[in-house]
Structure 1
Amino acid sequence: MVQEHSRIYEVGRESNKQIQEESNQECQRRWELDTDKARWTKRLIRNIEAWCQRRHGEIEYYLTQFLGGHGCFNAYLKRFGLKNTDKCWYCGDVDTSEHTFFACKEWAGYREAMHEGIGETVTVDNIINLMISKESNWQVIHGYIKTVLKEKETYERNIEKEERRRNGM
């Protein structure tokens, strides 16, 4: 962004739009080159310019967990020693953001309602394009993500409370 502003200042003849396009291309190139970081996020958000230029949709706590793959996912929590297992509480598969939102049978009813609300099946490959294409899609998908994560958090808190009770804490 700083480079973009200094180029606009230095090159008075070039149009601001052209400079911005070049800056966006550079951002996309760097996004694609750094393959070691944020793999899940990059799998979801393939076109960084389209994501950044969307005209609707705020990022909040639950959406951040989904997009980053961080939060109440046992595979993530186990990596940091916060859980003893990486398994899903509901089905026993490895509990990741992808598993929770696209595969876990526990959320099949909510997932089906989301698909009906959008008018097509939402997948890892199309979720971001669907979200940024229409505000109503954003609202439906965001609602699904928020509902699932809130329910997971409540369930996990109840499990932890029960474990503390059993252990006399």
Structure 2
Amino acid sequence: MAAQVIAGIPPVTLLIEEGLRLYSRDDDKLRTTRLLERSTTLEKWQRVWSDHSETEMWSKTLIPDVRQWVSCKHRRLDFYLTQFLSGHGYFGDYTKRMGITKGSICGYCGEEDSPEHTIFVCQRWAAWRSNTESVIGAEVNSRSITILMMKSKEN
């Protein structure tokens, strides 16, 4: 579920429902109809995302609103951003859970490592955080980071 949200691809079941709704409509305004049906799909997807189990809790913290995330025109993913948004990357808690490492301690500061720790807490990245916050003009934390990213391409 988190991978689909991060990628901006609705679940296939919702896309099939959308296709059936489009097929059953008899409209002359196909573009408007498609936009209305996609809006309905995004509303349903948001409900599914909000109600989904806690396994994607980290991704839900970062991306609480699927509709806003999907509609961001300058949203670009890369290897590192995908790892951060999913929590599936070279973070101590993940590598330990996958059996890659025996512990989940941060290699820089000795604290318990997680995506939140790495980006928002670890002193190794304090200068980056300070610089980012001064450029953006706002505090960067797990609840604000994607909202700030979506505000502008520069962010």
TM-score between both structures, scaled by the size of structure 2? 0.83
1:30: which partner in 2? 48
CA RMSD of aligned residues (A): 1.4
Greater shift after overlay, 13-22 or 55-64?
A: 13-22
2:60 is equivalent to residue 46 of structure 1: no
Rg larger for: 1
Q: Offset at 1:91?
A: 1.6
1: distance between equivalents of 2:55 and 2:92? 20
Aligned-partner Cα distance in 2 for 1:117–1:48? 26
Q: CA deviation at 1:84?
A: 1.5
- Residue 152 of structure 2 is matched in structure 1 by 134
User: Which residue number corresponds to residue 127 of structure 2?
Assistant: 109
Residues 1-169 of structure 1: pairs in structure 2 closer than 5 A: 1-13=15-27, 15-137=33-155
Following TM superposition, by how much is the alpha carbon of 1:10 offset from its aligned partner in structure 2, in angstroms?
0.3
Q: What SS is found at the alignment partner of 2:112?
A: coil
Q: Which runs of 5+ in 2 are unaligned?
A: 1-14
1:70-101 Cα shifts (integer Å, max 9, x gaps)? 11111110112111111111222110000000
Whole-Å separation in 2 of the counterparts to 1:30 and 1:62: 26
Corresponding pairs, count: 137
CA-CA distance at 1:36 after TM superposition:
2.8
Give the distance between the partners of 1:98 and 1:39, measured in 2 at CA. 12
Partner of 2:12: none
Structure 1 unmatched ranges of 5 or more:
138-169
**SS across alignment from 1:15:** helix
Identical positions, percent: 34
